[in-house]
Amino acid sequence: MGERISIAKAARLLGINRRELCDRLCHAGIEGFEGAVDLSDVKRIAPKLNMDDARISERTRLIRQTARRRQAVRPPRKREFELQDDLDKMHNRWLMERKKAQEYSILFDALVDELGHWQASEDEDKAQFAIEFSKWLCDQLD
């Protein structure tokens, strides 16, 4: 048995109400005990929880990758206007990539929310598909 989390806290982390999470857990065959559930079980049906782990891991990787390293040989110094041009170009590229990433993030959140609604669906086929797709999505994010 792994780490336990309260159903109410898991629902807050997912941004849904407790009743909806209980419905999802019930349809997935996941049982709680005394208002708590195994965190790994929640992660299996809730890609949003795994996504936050991935963002933290990616941020750590980027920090490590871009950390300053001492250079044995000094590169030639650029003039101030050349540096400003380079900085402006990088900033513009970063803005475009950031906008694209935000759009994908919004789309992904909408997909995950819709999957959550499907998991609690009265249609058993739809609910089972949503549960299996969520499991697959979580595996891809790990």
Q: Quick check: is 73 in a domain?
A: no
Domain assignment of residue 100, given as a range: 4-68+78-141
Q: What's this model's pTM, rounded to 2 decimal places? A: 0.47
Name, in order, each residue with C-beta under 8 angstroms of 44's C-beta and a sequence gap of 6 or more.
28, 30, 134, 135, 138
pLDDT (tens digit per residue) in 87-106: 999 999 999 999 999 999 99
Residue with tokens 């797709």: 133
Q: Quick check: is 34 in a domain?
A: yes
Mean pLDDT of the chain: 80
| Burial (Cβ within 10 Å: 0-12, 13-18, ≥19) of residue 129 | middle
| Phi then psi dihedrals of residue 33, to 5 deg | -140, 120
Instruction: Read off the amino acid at residue 27.
Output: H
Cα 65 to Cα 122: distance, rounded to the nearest angstrom: 47
pLDDT band for position 127 (cuts 50, 70, 90) = very high
pLDDT at residue 56 in the model: 43
pLDDT band for position 128 (cuts 50, 70, 90) = very high
Provide the number of structural domains found in the chain: 1
